Amino acid sequence: MPKVTEEHRLARREQIVAAARTCMNEQGFHKTTMADVIRESRLSAGAVYGYFKSKEEIVAAIAEDALGTVDELFERLLATDAPLTPLAALEATIDHVVLVAQRPGGDVTRIAVQAWAESLRNEEIRGIAKGKYRKLRDHFLVIARRAQADGTLDRDVDPECVAQVMFSMIPGFVLQRLLIGDITPATYKAGLRALLR
């Protein structure tokens, strides 16, 4: 019964990723080892290594889970025929970030911030972060191009430059939410509406 087997595989994989998130939220990203994840998952070492060869592979899976839903978000945003503005895309993205952060299993944005630091010391984590963030920024690039086609953004500017600034809103929001704590989607979106064209 291949369908059951596939479901079983996915559930096991999710069990391991959830265990890793718990460990990373409790004891920190850097300190978490494969042994910790195995213990927390209540699976055997052989079972865990059957899914993930290293902590880095688990980190990639956590990032994939967190950012995977972003693809659908941007698909939805681009599906409209009405003129699309960078502002509308950013407002939707900020709401989405908070939804993802509040999902059960611990705030994944806390793991992201730790992954940024780890990226400076671990080439493999840096490669994962770079790949995922380039992909996220490419979504903003598509939005910028669409806005240029729709006439809601100056056509003379390199859309890559616009994507760099749009991307910044995400780590900027996440960091203030975690470190300062007095920021909400409502306050941030009010600021965006006042500042952006």
What residue ranges bind its own copies (CB under 8 A)? 28-30, 86, 110, 113-114, 116-121, 126, 129-130, 133-134, 137, 153-154, 157-158, 160-173, 175-176, 178-181, 183, 187-188, 190-197
Stated length of the chain: 197
Report the nearest approach of its own copies to the CB of residue 186 (Å).
9
Report the nearest approach of its own copies to the CB of residue 141 (Å).
11
Nearer to its own copies, 43 or 97 (CB): 97
In our burial notation (b when 16+ CB lie closer than 10 A, e otherwise), range 51-67 reads bbeebbebbbbbbebbb
The one-letter amino acid at 6 = E
Nearer to its own copies, 48 or 166 (CB): 166
Which residue from 192, 51, 160, 177 is spatially nearest to 113, judged by alpha carbons?
A: 177
* Contact of 96 with 10, CB cutoff 8 Å: no
Rounded Cα distance between 91 and 75, Å, is 15
Nearer to its own copies, 14 or 124 (CB): 124
Nearer to its own copies, 51 or 133 (CB): 133
